[in-house]
């Protein structure tokens, strides 16, 4: 450029011929400059291109690649650094005793195996795996999501996870999700009802964990939603059975309580039961001591024989463990009555270790000084 500018005075002094000479001179300068730049570019780009190809070969497991030097100092520095890395890698391969390409082949195989196992795991789940952004919008999901939501992974990317829940569960899930995002904490075993695009319903349990970008910012959640329909159905059946059992127990209590216990005892044993204090252990088959929680403290040999447990086993039981009719709460109520009135009498059913049952009368007495209770049992 400076040479071209310097020809201007020459062209002015020389007139027309001077302008022609200047024009040719400028053209010659540009031609020489362009040619020189091509040569320089060739000598710079060629070694860089070769180095790039050599690095690709190394990445494929070719450790015998020879890295040549060039006329450019900086490229030579890169080449020497890469040669040192290559030498270290060869030494490591030699010490481990594997073939040159095995490291790379093993890495590929491990990656392939991991992907296959991941797919197998996702397909084995009785539900689906998923990933969302920090707002709960699906970014990916396993193939089985379509069985529950009616959409495949690509279609779900435009949908929020709360869209497929019942209104009540959606509100609950949003609250749990927002709280988890705020604390950047996991979402664990959130049970909710999902409704697919055809209106079909399914109960699932959802668990998810946060994941972050390189700077530590929350990117979203990854997790799994597991089918718990069978569990929910079982809970309904169990609740129905419990109600039926409770009804039967109440019926049995009514039957047992139809006759007055004191009158019945008097008729069967000839005892005067008008005064409870006249009752003694001799009129009963077995006796045991227990505390306010109905845990057995001690018992006689007759109770061991009647129920079929060893004494050590009985001392580890609660009264509710062998009472087939009364719940623990029912027994605690009777204990409180005995504590208040000094005595409580009732009919119930004992369950032996082998599963058989005995209809019995029980009389509870409160031993105030020792702060414990005595139960005298008579088989009906």
Which tens digits make up the pLDDT trace of 29-57?
656 555 555 444 455 556 666 666 766 66
Confidence (pLDDT) at 232: 77
Q: What is the mean pLDDT of residues 330-339?
A: 91
Same domain, 284 and 359: yes
Tokens representing 264? 């019945």
Asked which of 212, 227, 242 is the last residue of a domain, the reply is 227
User: Does a structural domain hold residue 242?
Assistant: no
Angle between helices 2-59 and 73-96 (to 10 degrees): 0
Name the residue range of residue 301's domain: 261-379
pLDDT winner (highest mean) among 118-122, 138-142, 279-283: 138-142
Confidence (pLDDT) at 51: 65
User: Does a structural domain hold residue 74?
Assistant: yes
User: Please, are residues 90 and 63 in contact by the beta-carbon 8 Å criterion?
Assistant: yes
pLDDT in tens, 308-320: 999 999 999 999 9
What is the number of domains present in the chain? 3
pLDDT in tens, 175-195: 999 999 999 999 988 988 899
Confidence (pLDDT) at 349: 87
User: Does a structural domain hold residue 303?
Assistant: yes
Tokens representing 250? 């109440």
Q: Point out which residues pair with 131 in neighbouring strands.
A: 140, 222
Confidence of residue 292 (pLDDT cuts 50, 70, 90): very high
Pairwise pLDDT comparison (86 vs 273), residue with the higher score: 86
pLDDT in tens, 225-251: 888 887 777 777 777 766 766 666 666
User: Does a structural domain hold residue 118?
Assistant: no
Confidence (pLDDT) at 293: 93
State the Cα–Cα distance between residues 190 and 188, nearest whole angstrom.
Answer: 6
Same domain, 271 and 329: yes
Asked which of 181, 201, 227 is the last residue of a domain, the reply is 227
Pairwise pLDDT comparison (32 vs 212), residue with the higher score: 212
Burial 7-16 (b: 16+ CB within 10 A, else e): beeebeeeee
What phi and psi values does residue 143 have, to the nearest 5 degrees? Answer: -60, -30
Q: Over pLDDT 90: what percentage of the chain?
A: 25
- Provide the CATH number for the domain around residue 185: 3.30.450.20
Q: pTM of the full predicted structure? A: 0.40
pLDDT in tens, 360-370: 889 999 998 88
Pairwise pLDDT comparison (238 vs 131), residue with the higher score: 131
CB under 8 Å to 281, separation ≥6 — which residues? Answer: 287, 376
Same domain, 174 and 215: yes
Confidence (pLDDT) at 327: 86
Confidence (pLDDT) at 278: 45
Confidence (pLDDT) at 276: 43
Same domain, 63 and 151: no
- pLDDT averaged over every residue in the chain: 75
Same domain, 48 and 144: no
Q: Over pLDDT 70: what percentage of the chain?
A: 56
State the Cα–Cα distance between residues 335 and 374, nearest whole angstrom.
Answer: 10
């Amino acid at each position: 450029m400076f040479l071209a500018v310097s020809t201007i005075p020459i062209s002015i002094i020389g007139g027309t011929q001077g302008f022609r000479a200047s024009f040719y001179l400028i053209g010659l300068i540009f031609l020489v400059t362009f040619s020189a730049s091509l040569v320089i570019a060739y000598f710079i780009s060629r070694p860089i291109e070769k180095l790039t190809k050599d690095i690709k070969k190394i990445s494929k497991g070719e450790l015998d690649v020879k890295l040549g030097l060039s006329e450019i100092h900086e490229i030579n520095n890169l080449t020497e650094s890469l040669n040192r890395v290559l030498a270290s890698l060869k030494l490591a391969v030699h010490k481990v005793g594997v073939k040159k390409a095995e490291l790379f082949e093993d890495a590929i195989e491990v990656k392939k195996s991991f992907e296959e196992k991941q797919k197998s795991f996702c397909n084995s789940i009785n539900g689906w795996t998923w990933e969302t952004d920090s707002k709960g919008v699906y970014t990916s999901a396993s193939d089985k999501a379509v069985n529950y939501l009616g959409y495949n992974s690509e279609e779900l990317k435009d949908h929020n996870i709360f869209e497929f829940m019942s209104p009540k569960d959606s509100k609950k899930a949003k609250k749990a999700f927002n709280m988890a995002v705020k604390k950047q904490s996991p979402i664990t075993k959130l049970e909710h009802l999902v409704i697919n695009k055809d209106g079909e319903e399914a109960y699932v349990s959802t668990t998810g964990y946060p994941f972050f970008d390189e700077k530590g910012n929350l990117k979203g959640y990854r997790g799994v939603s597991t089918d718990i329909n069978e569990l929910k159905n079982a809970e309904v059946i169990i609740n129905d059975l419990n109600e039926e059992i409770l009804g039967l127990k109440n019926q049995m209590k009514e039957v047992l309580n139809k006759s007055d216990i004191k009158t019945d005892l008097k008729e069967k044993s000839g005892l005067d039961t008008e005064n409870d204090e006249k009752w003694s252990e001799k009129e009963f088959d077995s006796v045991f001591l227990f505390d306010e929680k109905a845990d057995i403290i001690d018992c006689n040999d007759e109770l061991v024989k009647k129920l079929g447990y060893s004494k050590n086993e009985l001392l580890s039981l609660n009264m509710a463990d062998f009472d087939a009719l009364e719940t623990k709460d029912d027994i605690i109520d009777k204990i409180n009555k005995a504590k208040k009135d000094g005595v409580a009498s009732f009919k119930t059913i004992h369950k032996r270790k082998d599963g058989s049952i005995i209809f019995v009368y029980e009389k509870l007495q409160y031993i105030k000084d020792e702060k414990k209770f005595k139960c005298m049992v008579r088989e009906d």
